[in-house]
Chain A
Amino acid sequence: MAEYVKLYDGSKCTGCRGCQLACKQWNQLPARQTQNTGTYQNPPALQPATWMLMHFQEVSNGNGVKWFFRNEACMHCTDAACVKVCPSGALHYTAFGTVGLDREKCIGCKECIFACPFEVPKYDPATDKVAKCDMCQSRVENSMIPACVKACPTGALLFGEKEKILAVAAARAKEVGGDATVYGDKFVGGTHFVYVLPEKVSLYAKLPEKPRVPLTVIAWKDWLKPLSLLAAGGVLLGSFLHYIIHGPKSPDESGDSSAQ
């Protein structure tokens, strides 16, 4: 099956947040009590019940002010750290190349939270499971575009076959000119959610310039795990390593704290 990619074009986005609402509606994610902290951005970060979030960011200089918007959601890496570390197989690659999450299989170990270079998966203590955008797998499998893309009025969100979307992204970045760039196609094997950013990547808050799979994940999954499986007591070693790297799993960790 063809690989699919979703594009967010920051040069066409008006920050109307139709996408954020559509995501909640399709996935039936409950709202939480929020407060205004001096920005339109709310909730403040991705949460177990907020899989897509519009960022609002002002940058001012001598030439006036700019107002950036950015759609944050799972980037659906080709080389996905979360899939690598997931011990239960809950996180997996779909036939479309995106990263699916089988909530039934999730054991709440939070390995993915520590592994994800974009800080996307969020742990929900109420269910002892993690949650994240699955690129509307339920829609895509039924030949519908993701809910956020459907809701977007300006064409800032697009969804389609990988080659086509990447070509659109590259052409658009060129058309916008200046510091405009495509973000997502050059790391972690290429993401299945890519951006056209009209400004320099470094100007965007909380957006890693060079995201990569953490070395600890590579060390464990690609080198030590195969070794440990060869040896008896591999599981014990795994637990030990988890303890050394992350500390004990605490049952009362808030699902939101890692997002602040």
Chain B
Amino acid sequence: MTNHWIDIQFSDCILAMGSNPASNHPISFKYIQKAMEKGATLVNVDPRFTQTSSRAHLYAPLRSGTDIAFLGGMIKYILDNNLYNEKYVKFYSNAPFLVNPAFRLPGENDGVFSGLNGTKYDKSTWSFQKGADGVILKDPTLQDPNCVFQLLRKQYDRYTPELVSKITGTPVDKLLQVYKTYAATGQKGKAGTILYAMGWTQHTVGVQNIRAMSIIQTLLANMGVAGGGVNALRGESNVQGSTDYALLFHILPGYLRAPLASLPSLKDYIEKSTPATTEPKSLNWWKNYSKYITSLLRAFYGMNATPEEAYDLLPRLEDGKNYSWLSLFDAMYKGEFTGFFSWGQNPACSGASSNKTRQAMAKLDWMVNVNIFDSETGSFWKGPGMDPAKIKTEVFMLPCSASIEKEGSITNSGRWMQWRYKAVNSPGEATPDGELISELFLKVRDLYEKEGGPLKEAVTKLTWDYGPKDAFGRVTHLDVHAIAKEINGYFLEDKEINGVLYKKGSLVPSFALLQDDGSTSSGNWLYCNSYTEKGNMAARRSRKDTTPIGIYPEWAWSWPVNRRIIYNGASVDPETGQPWDTEHPVILWDGAKWTGDVPDGVAAPGAGRPPFIMKPDGVASIFGPGLADGPFPEHYEPLECPIDKNLLSPQFINPTIRRFDVGGTELDLRATCDPRFPFVCSTYRVSEHWQTGLMTRWCSWLAEMQPSMFVEMSEELAKLKGIGNGDAVTVRSVRGEVDAVAIVTARFKPFDINGQTIHQVGIPWHYGWVTTAMRKYSHDDKKPEVFTFGDSANLLTPFIGDPNTMIPESKAFMVNVDRKGVK
């Protein structure tokens, strides 16, 4: 989230699209409700009429996988009707930048951008024109045909309401109602917010869905303001934290890049990673890159290695190789590695194409399953279709503590780091994850020291000062405060900065003071300022607030530097410094300094510093050449779809996706526009269950409320297939099948797609065979108090990902559905 939960109440128009906050983020609705009580409009766009729709002022249906067409139409509507904030766009975005005249848009280039070579783009034409001084050429009048603004207009001129309606199935009048309602937030003093979730990300155009909305939010001046922003409703309480701390393969903590094999030295790495700008007034915050990586290396290795030596010890990615989930499970299936830690997850149900995932686990020699309950993953070898006698994989179960059984912090969707205390002891042998990791580390280190091995020092030189130690230097009890402090970072020597002396061993007050000379450490520069000499900021619980917009600056702590609304420098007029919304100012100039929220990169009013300081040029990227699949979002059909062509262009699907079904394994199957699988299917959640249901299916009260896999379908489809409400049915894709109970509902309606009737169904993904009644239970298997029915929705989903993130396309694929026993 660029903003935070409390802030939703200051919105004038809330667009819930690609999300279902009423069901899946119930607490968010507290603030949506407050906004509505103040007169805000709730707009909901979803293939299915949901609990959120039931509260919305305006509901519009769309076919899964067509969000870019929908949003592209909105961009056209905003531009055609001059509903954008011209000053904001001119000063705060790259709309005036002149693009390379050789650049071609999909509309004039067979549906692809210029430079496509196989499945990869040569991005040389996706560049800006520069003057002799190296500064980007601009047209402040936004009239030059090569300026970003005019290219944007040209790109979306093709997205007429009539054509969009043919693609999305949204009636034209509903489209226009949504466009009109949302675009009204472009007026000065009005704010619109987007609440999205996996309904936008889990597509082969996932990143571009969000890009499209970012462009809209920029045009309407909704970035940086109260009640605005681009807000990802995170699917787990701490998923924001997990990304901040580099759960993903391509980053190190604080969104620093993972080192590549082609960057042998720290110097090479820093040179390659530090962006430069020729814009004279741009702050280009990432120019500080070297300070953050150097401080991180100090946090890893302390004084046991110089930063240069420490960099040498880090693992490298092979250039161009992808190590994300799909790639890893594909490699596992092909027997390319033999051991696997499944930590706090349930891949047998959560990964796309579960049959492949489950078969992949059978190729392993060993798997360590760390979790609080048995799961379809830990017991995969005795699951449906498995013959335990033929599976060699040895599985070790390590029971771990649940969140309330340990102390530590979580970072919520609004980037708040909140400290939590331990409430109860763990049952039996269950141990906090941190203790398990520490134990594991100490054992591995002992083995390296005793037996040696490749890259020995990468392990043996790590610092591990996380609590009291025994005579052999091993931590006996993990002190989470020591970890939190290391994350914040220390001065490793006495250091004088701007006339102030910071003593060796003291905590660094803020990342602005981190150094690249090895004199500071910080485990995550974004969190520097979270645990200072003033104490643990995340543990603060003051309800004091002097702002009119619910900032509560002393409640917990928010990254970066306790800023609650990021990009807030854009909330004011660039020339006068006056807030666009005088009723809900995020920052205010008092003549000498900014008050309110922690100001974001903004200089004195009229100074001309562009406020998007994390972008090298300081402005929001309407033209975004950084992505794999295009500088503007373009509609492509999902890998599996019900129609045989893209109505917008000759390019059917995203040309840059990595196709596992082409030259892949026998389980990598695709069935598009295939009469055997005629219905669009999407996966989603219910309020009562969480993720694969691994935690919630064992909770009898929750299982009682939602005991079963179900499939929701329209009355029209049910009639067509002879299915009654409550009937047992089987849902099939080309990759697998799953039994479900039919919920026949008027909340799903058939779509009219270019004159064709297209049906869509939907299934929750919380179920799994481990908690069902019909499976075999041996004497030591735990039995649930309330059984659930059905297996994972991911048995059906395709093994395909977005080209930028590799997130699987679980939100749009093709299935059939029949009464059980009918094929």
**Residues on B with beta carbons closer than 8 Å to the beta carbon of A68:** 54
Cross-chain contact A33 with B701 (CB below 8 angstroms): no
**Residues on A with beta carbons closer than 8 Å to the beta carbon of B724:** 38
Q: Which residues of B in the span 608-622 have a Cβ within 8 Å of any Cβ on A?
A: none
Q: Determine whether B178 belongs to the interface, using a CB cutoff of 8 Å to chain A.
A: no
Least distance between B5 CB and chain A CB atoms (Å): 11
Cross-chain contact B744 with A38 (CB below 8 angstroms): yes
Q: What residue of chain A has the Cβ atom nearest to residue B53's Cβ?
A: A67
Given the contacts A31-B786, A36-B707, A18 and B743 also touching, CB distance less than 8 Å: no
Cross-chain contact A155 with B30 (CB below 8 angstroms): yes
Q: List 27 A-B contacts (CB under 8 A).
A: A14-B23, A14-B51, A15-B23, A17-B705, A18-B687, A21-B705, A31-B703, A31-B786, A32-B704, A32-B786, A34-B786, A35-B707, A36-B706, A36-B707, A36-B708, A36-B741, A36-B789, A39-B725, A40-B686, A43-B704, A66-B54, A67-B49, A67-B53, A67-B54, A68-B54, A153-B26, A155-B30
Q: Determine whether B813 belongs to the interface, using a CB cutoff of 8 Å to chain A.
A: no
Least distance between B19 CB and chain A CB atoms (Å): 13
**Residues on A with beta carbons closer than 8 Å to the beta carbon of B331:** none
Q: Determine whether B55 belongs to the interface, using a CB cutoff of 8 Å to chain A.
A: yes
Cross-chain contact A18 with B59 (CB below 8 angstroms): no
Report A36-75 CB contacts with B as 1/0, cut-off 8 Å: 1111101100000000000000101000111111000000
Q: What residue of chain A has the Cβ atom nearest to residue B22's Cβ?
A: A14
**Residues on A with beta carbons closer than 8 Å to the beta carbon of B725:** 37-39
Cross-chain contact B701 with A25 (CB below 8 angstroms): yes
Considering the chains assembled together, what is the distance between the CA atoms of A14 and B27 in angstroms? Answer: 11
Cross-chain contact A42 with B705 (CB below 8 angstroms): yes
Considering the chains assembled together, what is the distance between the CA atoms of A153 and B26 in angstroms? Answer: 7
Q: Determine whether B80 belongs to the interface, using a CB cutoff of 8 Å to chain A.
A: no
**Residues on B with beta carbons closer than 8 Å to the beta carbon of A37:** 725-726, 741
**Residues on A with beta carbons closer than 8 Å to the beta carbon of B786:** 31-34
Q: What residue of chain A has the Cβ atom nearest to residue B740's Cβ?
A: A36
Quick one: which of B27, B705, B707, B747 contacts A67, CB cutoff 8 A? B747
Report A75-102 CB contacts with B as 1/0, cut-off 8 Å: 0000000000000000000000000000
Quick one: which of B29, B49, B704, B745 contacts A154, CB cutoff 8 A? B29
Cross-chain contact B688 with A17 (CB below 8 angstroms): yes
Least distance between A164 CB and chain B CB atoms (Å): 18
Given the contacts A39-B743, A65-B49, A67-B51, A31 and B704 also touching, CB distance less than 8 Å: yes
Q: Determine whether A20 belongs to the interface, using a CB cutoff of 8 Å to chain B.
A: yes
Beyond known contacts A16-B26, A65-B747: 11 more, CB 8 A cutoff: A14-B22, A14-B26, A15-B51, A17-B687, A18-B26, A21-B705, A31-B700, A35-B789, A36-B708, A36-B726, A36-B741
Least distance between A151 CB and chain B CB atoms (Å): 10
**Residues on B with beta carbons closer than 8 Å to the beta carbon of A39:** 725, 743
Q: Determine whether B350 belongs to the interface, using a CB cutoff of 8 Å to chain A.
A: no
Q: Determine whether B702 belongs to the interface, using a CB cutoff of 8 Å to chain A.
A: yes
Considering the chains assembled together, what is the distance between the CA atoms of A33 and B785 in angstroms? Answer: 8
- B contacts, CB < 8 Å to A: 22-23, 26-27, 29-30, 33, 49, 51-55, 59, 686-688, 700-708, 710, 724-727, 741-747, 785-787, 789
Cross-chain contact A16 with B22 (CB below 8 angstroms): yes
Considering the chains assembled together, what is the distance between the CA atoms of A138 and B560 in angstroms? Answer: 45
- A contacts, CB < 8 Å to B: 12, 14-18, 20-21, 24-25, 30-40, 42-43, 58, 60, 64-69, 153-155
Least distance between A43 CB and chain B CB atoms (Å): 7
**Residues on A with beta carbons closer than 8 Å to the beta carbon of B702:** 21
Cross-chain contact A58 with B745 (CB below 8 angstroms): yes
Complex A-B, nearest 3 residue pairs according to Cβ-Cβ distance, in ascending order: A38-B726, A38-B725, A31-B700
**Residues on A with beta carbons closer than 8 Å to the beta carbon of B700:** 30-31
Given the contacts A20-B705, A34-B704, A14 and B52 also touching, CB distance less than 8 Å: yes
Q: What residue of chain A has the Cβ atom nearest to residue B26's Cβ?
A: A16
Considering the chains assembled together, what is the distance between the CA atoms of A16 and B685 in angstroms? Answer: 12
Least distance between A24 CB and chain B CB atoms (Å): 5
Cross-chain contact A153 with B30 (CB below 8 angstroms): yes
**Residues on B with beta carbons closer than 8 Å to the beta carbon of A20:** 705
Given the contacts A42-B706, A154-B30, A36 and B747 also touching, CB distance less than 8 Å: no
Given the contacts A14-B55, A43-B704, A31 and B744 also touching, CB distance less than 8 Å: no
Q: What residue of chain B has the Cβ atom nearest to residue A41's Cβ?
A: B705
Considering the chains assembled together, what is the distance between the CA atoms of A131 and B49 in angstroms? Answer: 36
Considering the chains assembled together, what is the distance between the CA atoms of A37 and B728 in angstroms? Answer: 9
Least distance between B61 CB and chain A CB atoms (Å): 10
**Residues on A with beta carbons closer than 8 Å to the beta carbon of B33:** 12, 154-155
Given the contacts A25-B701, A38-B741, A42-B704, A65 and B746 also touching, CB distance less than 8 Å: yes
Considering the chains assembled together, what is the distance between the CA atoms of A58 and B51 in angstroms? Answer: 11
Q: What residue of chain A has the Cβ atom nearest to residue B715's Cβ?
A: A60
Considering the chains assembled together, what is the distance between the CA atoms of A15 and B22 in angstroms? Answer: 8
Least distance between A8 CB and chain B CB atoms (Å): 14
Cross-chain contact A16 with B704 (CB below 8 angstroms): no
Given the contacts A24-B701, A30-B700, A65-B49, A153 and B29 also touching, CB distance less than 8 Å: yes
Q: Which of B33, B710, B724, B786 has the most CB of A within 10 A?
A: B33
**Residues on A with beta carbons closer than 8 Å to the beta carbon of B704:** 31-34, 42-43
Q: What residue of chain B has the Cβ atom nearest to residue A69's Cβ?
A: B54
Q: What residue of chain B has the Cβ atom nearest to residue A15's Cβ?
A: B51
